[in-house]
C-alpha cells in the first residue's frame, strides 16, 4: 500500500510540474536567456550556491536527466527518425528548446510514467494482475502517441497562426519599403511592431544575417523551418526579386494582394464545408429528437387504438 501511495504521489507531482512549467514557460525562457548572457554570473549579485538556485528546475535537474537518457537512446535511434523529429520540432518552433533526442527521451519517459501510474491504479482496484498488465501496455502506447499528438497539434496551431499573420506582415513590409526603408530595416520594423510566431521567425532571420549569413540563406532557412506554403512562396519571390534586381515594393504589393486572395479563398472553402460537417450532429442528435416529438403522439394513439 505504501508503494501505491508513493507512486500516485510521484505521478501527481510530475503532472503538476508539467502544468506549471507550461503556464510559466515565458518566464522560464526569460530567466534562461538572462542566465545565458551572464546576468546570474555576476559575483556582485550572488554566490555560487545562490547562482545555481536561481536556475530553474528544468535547467538544473530535468534537462541533465534528459540528456543522460538521450545519450543512451541515441545509440538505438535511426538517423532518419532523428531528422524527421528535428524537422517537426522546427515546425513547432522548438518548444522548450528541445532537440530530437530530448524529445524522444521525454516521449519515452511520458509513456513509461503513464503506464506505471495505470498499473499502480489497476492494482489498487479489484482488477487482476493480468488485466493490470494489459491496461498498462495500452497506457504505454497511448502515452507514446499522446506526446506526438501534442507536437502535431502545436505544429498545426503555429502554422495557422503564421498563415493568419502573413497578410498583415506583408502589408507592413510593403508600406515600410515604399516609405523608403531598406528590406532589412523594414523587417526590423515588422519585428518591433508585430507579435507572434511570424515576427519571431523574422527576428531569427535578422539575427542570422547579422552574424554573417547572406540574405538569401537566411530567408531560405526561414521558409524551410516553418513548413507553411504561403511563407515559402513569399520567400521564393523575395529571393528571385533580389537576384534579378526587381523592385521589392512591387513584388511585396503583388504578394500582399495574392495572400489576401488566398485567405479569402480559404474562408470560402471552410464556409462551403460547414453544411457537410453539420450533417453529422443533425443526423445523430437533432433528427432523432424531431422524430420523437413529431411521431411520438401518433405512435401512442396507434398503440391505444390497436
Average pLDDT over residues 109-131: 75
Residue 144, domain member (yes or no) = yes
Which residue is it, cell 547572406? Answer: 214
Q: What is the pLDDT of residue 43?
A: 47
The count of structural domains within the chain is: 2
Inform me whether the pLDDT recorded for 44 exceeds 50: no
Query: Which of residues 119, 134, 155 is at a domain's end?
Result: 155
Q: What is the pLDDT of residue 211?
A: 86
The pTM (predicted TM-score) of the whole model is: 0.66
Rounded Cα distance between 73 and 280, Å, is 44
Residue 145, domain member (yes or no) = yes
Interval 152-181: pLDDT, tens:
998 988 888 888 888 888 888 888 888 888
High-pLDDT (> 70) share of the chain, %:
74
Grid coordinates in use for 35?
Answer: 542566465
Which residue is it, cell 520567400? Answer: 235
- Of the candidate ranges 1-15, 135-149, 158-172, 261-275, the one whose mean pLDDT is the lowest: 1-15
Shared domain check, 150 and 56 = yes
Shared domain check, 20 and 128 = yes
Q: What is the pLDDT of residue 34?
A: 66
Shared domain check, 178 and 47 = no
Inform me whether the pLDDT recorded for 80 exceeds 70: yes
Residue 289, domain member (yes or no) = no
Shared domain check, 146 and 171 = no
Residue 132, domain member (yes or no) = yes
Q: What is the pLDDT of residue 116?
A: 84
Range of the structural domain that residue 256 is part of:
161-263
Interval 188-213: pLDDT, tens:
888 888 888 888 888 888 888 888 88
| Spatial CB neighbours of 186, under 8 Å, sequence gap ≥ 6 | 172, 173, 176, 177
| Spatial CB neighbours of 238, under 8 Å, sequence gap ≥ 6 | 183, 219, 248, 251, 252
Shared domain check, 150 and 253 = no
Rounded Cα distance between 267 and 164, Å, is 11
Grid coordinates in use for 184?
Answer: 532589412
Domain harbouring 236, CATH code: 1.20.81
Residue 60's Cβ-side half-sphere holds a number of Cα atoms within 13 Å equal to: 11
Shared domain check, 139 and 9 = yes
Shared domain check, 190 and 113 = no
Query: CB of 120 within 8 A of CB of 8?
Result: yes
Amino acid at each position: 500500500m505504501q508503494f501505491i501511495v508513493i507512486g500516485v504521489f510521484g505521478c501527481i507531482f510530475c503532472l503538476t510540474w508539467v502544468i506549471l512549467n507550461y503556464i510559466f514557460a515565458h518566464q522560464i525562457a526569460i530567466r534562461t536567456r538572462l542566465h545565458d548572457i551572464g546576468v546570474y554570473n555576476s559575483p556582485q549579485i550572488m554566490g555560487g550556491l545562490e547562482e545555481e538556485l536561481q536556475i530553474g528546475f528544468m535547467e538544473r535537474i530535468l534537462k541533465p536527466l534528459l540528456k543522460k537518457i538521450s545519450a543512451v537512446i541515441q545509440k538505438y535511434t535511426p538517423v532518419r527518425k532523428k531528422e524527421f523529429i528535428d524537422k517537426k520540432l522546427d515546425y513547432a518552433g522548438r518548444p522548450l528548446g528541445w532537440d530530437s533526442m530530448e524529445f524522444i527521451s521525454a516521449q519515452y519517459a511520458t509513456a513509461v510514467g503513464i503506464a506505471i501510474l495505470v498499473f499502480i491504479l489497476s492494482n489498487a482496484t479489484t482488477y487482476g494482475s493480468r488485466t493490470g498488465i494489459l491496461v498498462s501496455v495500452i497506457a504505454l502506447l497511448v502515452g507514446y502517441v499522446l506526446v506526438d499528438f501534442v507536437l502535431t497539434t502545436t505544429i498545426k496551431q503555429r502554422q495557422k497562426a503564421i498563415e493568419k499573420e502573413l497578410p498583415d506582415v506583408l502589408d507592413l513590409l510593403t508600406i515600410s519599403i515604399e516609405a523608403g526603408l531598406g528590406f532589412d530595416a523594414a523587417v526590423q520594423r515588422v519585428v518591433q511592431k508585430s507579435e507572434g510566431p511570424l515576427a519571431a521567425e523574422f527576428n531569427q532571420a535578422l539575427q542570422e544575417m547579422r552574424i554573417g549569413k547572406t540574405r538569401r540563406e537566411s530567408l531560405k532557412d526561414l521558409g524551410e523551418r516553418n513548413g507553411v506554403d504561403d511563407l515559402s512562396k513569399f520567400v521564393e519571390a523575395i529571393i528571385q526579386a533580389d537576384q534579378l534586381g526587381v523592385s521589392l515594393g512591387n513584388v511585396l504589393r503583388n504578394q500582399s494582394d495574392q495572400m489576401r486572395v488566398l485567405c479569402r479563398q480559404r474562408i470560402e472553402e471552410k464556409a462551403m464545408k460547414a453544411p457537410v460537417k453539420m450533417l453529422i450532429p443533425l443526423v445523430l442528435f437533432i433528427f432523432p429528437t424531431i422524430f420523437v416529438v413529431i411521431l411520438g403522439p401518433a405512435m401512442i394513439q396507434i398503440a391505444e387504438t390497436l
